[in-house]
Amino acid sequence: MIVMAALVAVSTFAQEKRWAVVELSTVYMRIQPDYESALETQELMGTVVEIVGEKGYWREIVSPQPYKAWATEKGLIEMTTTEIEAYRLAPKVMFTDLYGHVYSQPHLKSQTICDLVGGDILRLSQASGKVKKAGWTQVMLPSGKTGWVPSGSITTHKGFRSIAKGQGDAGSISEKETEKIIAQALKLVGVPYLWGGMSAKGVDCSGLVRISHLMNGILLPRNASQQIHCGDRVGMPIDKTFWNDRSNTEAFKAEMAGRISGLKRGDLVFFGTPAMEEGQKDRVTHVGIYLGDGKIIHASHLVRINSLIPGEPDYYENAHRLLGAIRL
């Protein structure tokens, strides 16, 4: 019996998962454990990840996006399963400004402890009687360090909700939420494009869509090719003879007008290459958020606003590759 109990204990220990929480404002997840390796994606402060491997000071982690890639140990705080459960239950706030800092004291001239980007999640400090002070809120980093942030730069974090395929018809995102999502995206106009980026430090097309929704409590997949399978598809008639058409003819204008005729503000629009033969699938390579009146906001070279209507001065040069849209 003692041997059996010991074997069970060893088996349980062997199956124990290694957990960590992102400690920095953004952790850069790379394909290989090397600073020269390509960036896969960013993860934000407060995100719980699983550690599945290590090499020197690098940790191979699995994020909720989901992504498996490498990050340095300095950007992570490892926790036990019990500690992670307590962390998940702790009251938290989300940082809502594009960029900012945690301060050592409740005033802007005090020493900064770390930087923050929109979407970072912090625990409320457990220090009795010191949680708030004249427009400031005391917060706690995953490591347990405490500091202060302006109260107007945070909001209560109540968790995220996901939107699966087929949920769009139910109006899972209200008009009020849509406007908040668009407002968040508009704050990022001018931010440079960064492959794998998902913050004010650099953002790619699907990262822009994801962070704009994330900061409003909505969890979407990371990549455009995954995001297109959320919500409900919006009907979009496409004449494939115009697929590579970059002209400004009346026929092409009519084609594009037809494609966007069923779109509503807040719809996600996707670009790429359509299936040309039976058995093929559409290849999605880009995504943006529809603003109405034929315009989108998207990250291409930088976060910018463009028109899908040929002949407009801000016409998007790859608008002809529009192949579909979804409504969340």
Distances, alpha carbon 47 to alpha carbons 28, 74, 118, 295, in Å:
13, 15, 13, 33
The class that CATH gives domain 16-87 is mainly beta
Predicted model pTM: 0.89
Phi-psi region at 224: left, alpha or beta (left = phi > 0; alpha = psi -120 to 50): alpha
Same fold, 16-87 and 90-157: yes
CATH 3.40.50.970 fits 90-157, yes or no: no
Cβ neighbours around 227 below 10 Å, total: 23
User: How do 218-219 and 161-162 pair as beta strands?
Assistant: parallel
Give the pLDDT of the chain (328 residues) as one tens digit per residue: 444 444 444 444 456 899 999 999 999 999 999 999 999 999 999 999 999 999 999 999 999 878 899 999 999 999 999 999 999 999 999 999 999 999 999 999 999 999 999 999 999 987 645 577 789 999 999 999 999 999 999 999 988 888 777 666 555 789 999 999 999 999 999 999 999 999 999 999 999 999 999 999 999 999 999 999 999 999 888 888 777 777 778 888 999 999 999 999 999 999 998 877 777 788 999 999 999 999 999 999 999 999 999 999 999 999 999 999 999 9
Residue 288 pairs in a beta bridge with 269, 298
Domain range annotation of the chain: 16-87, 90-157, 160-328
CATH 3.90.1720.10 fits 160-328, yes or no: yes
Residues in the chain: 328
**CA-CA-CA-CA dihedral for 97, 299, 33, 112, to nearest 10:** -20
Q: Nearest 5 degrees, angle CA 217-CA 119-CA 114? A: 155
Rounded-to-integer distance, Cα 145 and Cα 127, Å: 11
Phi, psi of 106, deg, nearest 5: -80, 55
